[in-house]
Amino acid sequence: MSPGRADEVAVAARRVLERSGRDGLTMRAVADELGIQAPSLYKHVAGKPAIEVALIAAGLTEMGERLWAAVDRPGRRAPVAAVLAAYRGYARAHPNLYRLASAGPLPRADLPAGLEDWAGEPFLAVTGDAHRAQALWAFAHGMVVLELDGRFPPGSALARTWAEGAAAFAAPPARVPAGQVRR
Protein backbone atom coordinates (compact mmCIF):
# COMPACT_ATOMS: atom_id res chain seq x y z
CA MET A 1 0.00 0.00 0.00
CA SER A 2 2.51 2.58 -1.08
CA PRO A 3 1.09 6.11 -0.76
CA GLY A 4 2.42 7.14 -4.17
CA ARG A 5 0.39 4.57 -6.06
CA ALA A 6 -2.64 5.45 -3.98
CA ASP A 7 -2.51 8.91 -5.51
CA GLU A 8 -2.42 7.44 -8.98
CA VAL A 9 -5.54 5.46 -8.13
CA ALA A 10 -7.24 8.65 -6.98
CA VAL A 11 -6.28 10.42 -10.19
CA ALA A 12 -7.65 7.59 -12.28
CA ALA A 13 -10.78 7.49 -10.16
CA ARG A 14 -11.34 11.16 -10.71
CA ARG A 15 -11.09 10.75 -14.47
CA VAL A 16 -13.63 7.95 -14.32
CA LEU A 17 -15.94 9.93 -12.06
CA GLU A 18 -15.90 13.07 -14.18
CA ARG A 19 -16.41 11.05 -17.35
CA SER A 20 -18.99 8.51 -16.20
CA GLY A 21 -20.66 9.90 -13.11
CA ARG A 22 -21.15 8.42 -9.72
CA ASP A 23 -22.72 5.20 -10.94
CA GLY A 24 -19.89 4.75 -13.41
CA LEU A 25 -17.33 5.04 -10.66
CA THR A 26 -16.77 1.36 -10.11
CA MET A 27 -13.68 -0.45 -8.89
CA ARG A 28 -13.51 -2.26 -12.21
CA ALA A 29 -13.66 0.98 -14.19
CA VAL A 30 -10.92 2.56 -12.09
CA ALA A 31 -8.76 -0.54 -12.47
CA ASP A 32 -9.41 -0.49 -16.19
CA GLU A 33 -8.30 3.12 -16.35
CA LEU A 34 -4.98 1.95 -14.89
CA GLY A 35 -4.74 -1.14 -17.08
CA ILE A 36 -5.10 -3.41 -14.08
CA GLN A 37 -7.57 -5.89 -12.61
CA ALA A 38 -9.98 -4.68 -9.96
CA PRO A 39 -8.67 -6.77 -7.07
CA SER A 40 -5.20 -5.34 -7.61
CA LEU A 41 -6.52 -1.95 -6.51
CA TYR A 42 -6.68 -3.27 -2.99
CA LYS A 43 -2.88 -3.37 -2.95
CA HIS A 44 -2.98 0.43 -3.01
CA VAL A 45 -6.27 1.52 -1.50
CA ALA A 46 -8.39 0.21 1.36
CA GLY A 47 -11.57 0.10 -0.71
CA LYS A 48 -14.05 2.14 -2.61
CA PRO A 49 -15.02 4.38 0.32
CA ALA A 50 -11.36 5.39 0.72
CA ILE A 51 -11.23 6.42 -2.93
CA GLU A 52 -14.38 8.46 -2.48
CA VAL A 53 -12.97 10.20 0.56
CA ALA A 54 -9.92 11.24 -1.45
CA LEU A 55 -12.16 12.65 -4.17
CA ILE A 56 -14.37 14.45 -1.67
CA ALA A 57 -11.31 16.06 -0.11
CA ALA A 58 -10.13 17.18 -3.54
CA GLY A 59 -13.53 18.64 -4.33
CA LEU A 60 -13.76 20.52 -1.03
CA THR A 61 -10.26 21.88 -1.49
CA GLU A 62 -10.85 23.14 -5.01
CA MET A 63 -14.21 24.63 -4.10
CA GLY A 64 -12.64 26.37 -1.11
CA GLU A 65 -9.93 27.85 -3.32
CA ARG A 66 -12.48 29.25 -5.74
CA LEU A 67 -14.61 30.71 -2.99
CA TRP A 68 -11.68 32.36 -1.24
CA ALA A 69 -10.52 33.79 -4.54
CA ALA A 70 -13.98 35.31 -4.99
CA VAL A 71 -13.83 36.80 -1.52
CA ASP A 72 -10.40 38.27 -2.18
CA ARG A 73 -11.17 39.53 -5.67
CA PRO A 74 -14.91 39.99 -6.03
CA GLY A 75 -14.43 42.09 -9.15
CA ARG A 76 -17.32 44.39 -9.96
CA ARG A 77 -19.81 42.17 -8.15
CA ALA A 78 -21.12 42.55 -4.64
CA PRO A 79 -19.27 40.09 -2.38
CA VAL A 80 -22.29 37.85 -1.88
CA ALA A 81 -22.91 37.66 -5.62
CA ALA A 82 -19.23 36.97 -6.26
CA VAL A 83 -19.16 34.01 -3.89
CA LEU A 84 -22.39 32.64 -5.34
CA ALA A 85 -20.99 32.93 -8.86
CA ALA A 86 -17.83 31.10 -7.83
CA TYR A 87 -19.86 28.38 -6.16
CA ARG A 88 -22.07 27.89 -9.19
CA GLY A 89 -19.10 28.03 -11.54
CA TYR A 90 -17.16 25.32 -9.80
CA ALA A 91 -20.16 23.03 -9.46
CA ARG A 92 -20.97 23.35 -13.15
CA ALA A 93 -17.38 22.77 -14.15
CA HIS A 94 -17.23 19.54 -12.13
CA PRO A 95 -20.79 18.37 -11.67
CA ASN A 96 -20.04 14.78 -10.84
CA LEU A 97 -17.34 15.66 -8.38
CA TYR A 98 -19.62 18.23 -6.76
CA ARG A 99 -22.38 15.71 -6.40
CA LEU A 100 -20.07 13.14 -4.86
CA ALA A 101 -18.63 15.67 -2.43
CA SER A 102 -21.96 17.07 -1.34
CA ALA A 103 -24.28 14.08 -1.25
CA GLY A 104 -24.80 12.03 1.83
CA PRO A 105 -23.10 12.31 5.18
CA LEU A 106 -19.62 13.77 5.30
CA PRO A 107 -16.98 11.26 6.37
CA ARG A 108 -15.64 13.91 8.72
CA ALA A 109 -13.31 11.59 10.60
CA ASP A 110 -11.36 10.74 7.44
CA LEU A 111 -11.06 14.26 6.06
CA PRO A 112 -8.08 16.54 6.64
CA ALA A 113 -8.70 18.47 9.84
CA GLY A 114 -10.11 21.93 9.29
CA LEU A 115 -10.82 21.44 5.60
CA GLU A 116 -14.57 21.55 5.98
CA ASP A 117 -14.53 24.75 8.04
CA TRP A 118 -12.02 26.43 5.77
CA ALA A 119 -14.02 25.68 2.64
CA GLY A 120 -17.18 27.08 4.21
CA GLU A 121 -15.70 30.21 5.72
CA PRO A 122 -16.10 32.39 2.62
CA PHE A 123 -19.84 32.40 3.29
CA LEU A 124 -19.14 33.71 6.75
CA ALA A 125 -16.70 36.27 5.42
CA VAL A 126 -19.30 37.62 3.07
CA THR A 127 -22.33 37.63 5.37
CA GLY A 128 -20.72 38.43 8.69
CA ASP A 129 -23.08 36.16 10.56
CA ALA A 130 -22.90 32.42 11.14
CA HIS A 131 -26.59 31.70 10.63
CA ARG A 132 -26.84 33.93 7.62
CA ALA A 133 -23.78 32.19 6.22
CA GLN A 134 -25.38 28.79 6.63
CA ALA A 135 -28.57 30.05 5.01
CA LEU A 136 -26.65 31.44 2.07
CA TRP A 137 -24.75 28.20 1.70
CA ALA A 138 -28.01 26.25 1.77
CA PHE A 139 -29.40 28.48 -0.96
CA ALA A 140 -26.29 27.98 -3.11
CA HIS A 141 -26.26 24.25 -2.56
CA GLY A 142 -29.96 23.94 -3.27
CA MET A 143 -29.65 25.95 -6.46
CA VAL A 144 -26.71 23.93 -7.71
CA VAL A 145 -28.24 20.58 -6.95
CA LEU A 146 -31.56 21.45 -8.52
CA GLU A 147 -29.80 22.94 -11.51
CA LEU A 148 -27.44 19.99 -12.05
CA ASP A 149 -30.26 17.51 -11.76
CA GLY A 150 -32.50 19.44 -14.11
CA ARG A 151 -35.19 19.81 -11.47
CA PHE A 152 -36.15 23.33 -12.42
CA PRO A 153 -38.85 23.52 -15.07
CA PRO A 154 -37.22 23.47 -18.51
CA GLY A 155 -36.58 26.96 -19.77
CA SER A 156 -36.18 28.58 -16.37
CA ALA A 157 -34.10 31.75 -16.42
CA LEU A 158 -31.77 30.59 -13.70
CA ALA A 159 -29.49 33.61 -13.78
CA ARG A 160 -32.48 35.60 -12.60
CA THR A 161 -33.12 33.14 -9.81
CA TRP A 162 -29.49 33.29 -8.67
CA ALA A 163 -29.66 37.08 -8.73
CA GLU A 164 -32.83 37.00 -6.66
CA GLY A 165 -31.10 34.96 -4.00
CA ALA A 166 -28.05 37.18 -4.06
CA ALA A 167 -30.28 40.19 -3.55
CA ALA A 168 -32.20 38.56 -0.71
CA PHE A 169 -29.00 37.79 1.17
CA ALA A 170 -27.20 40.99 0.27
CA ALA A 171 -29.63 43.14 2.26
CA PRO A 172 -28.48 43.82 5.81
CA PRO A 173 -29.21 40.93 8.20
CA ALA A 174 -32.77 41.12 9.42
CA ARG A 175 -33.31 41.14 13.15
CA VAL A 176 -35.10 37.92 13.76
CA PRO A 177 -37.54 38.37 16.63
CA ALA A 178 -36.63 35.81 19.30
CA GLY A 179 -40.26 34.70 19.52
CA GLN A 180 -40.15 33.38 15.97
CA VAL A 181 -37.40 30.89 16.76
CA ARG A 182 -39.04 27.67 17.80
CA ARG A 183 -36.29 25.12 18.09
Partner DNA sequence: TTGACAGGCTAATGCCGTTAGCCTCAGGAT
Partner DNA sequence: ATCCTGAGGCTAACGGCATTAGCCTGTCAA
Residues that bind DNA (CB under 7 A): 1-2, 5, 25-29, 31, 35-40, 42-44, 47-49
Burial class from Cβ neighbours inside 10 Å (0-12, 13-18, 19+) for residue 25 reads: buried
Partner from its own copies, DNA, none binding residue 27, C-beta < 5-8 Å depending on class: DNA
By beta-carbon proximity to its own copies, the closer residue of 93 and 138 is 138
Which residue in 112, 67, 72 sits closest to 91, CA to CA?
67
Residue 181 CB, nearest approach to DNA (Å):
42
Is 38 an interacting residue with respect to its own copies (CB under 8 A)?
Answer: no
Which residue in 82, 97, 118 sits closest to 16, CA to CA?
97
Please give the full DSSP string across 144-163, using - where no structure is assigned. HHHHHTT-SPTT--HHHHHH
Partner from its own copies, DNA, none binding residue 98, C-beta < 5-8 Å depending on class: none
Residue 139 CB, nearest approach to its own copies (Å):
4
Backbone torsion region of residue 37, taken as left when φ is above 0, otherwise alpha when ψ lies between -120 and 50, otherwise beta: beta
Distance separating alpha carbons of residues 144 and 62, to the nearest angstrom? 16
Contacts with its own copies, 112-151, as mask; x by CB under 8 A: ----xx-----------x-xx-xx-xxxxxxx-xx--xxx
Q: Binding-site residue total for its own copies (CB under 8 A)? A: 52
Q: Per CB under 8 A, which of residues 72..91 are in contact with its own copies?
A: 77, 81, 85
Hey, is 44 helix, strand or coil?
coil
Contact 13, 25 (CB under 8 A): yes
Task: Please report, as ranges, the residues that interact with its own copies according to CB under 8 A.
Answer: 77, 81, 85, 102-106, 116-117, 129, 131-132, 134-135, 137-143, 145-146, 149-153, 156-171, 173-174, 176, 180-183
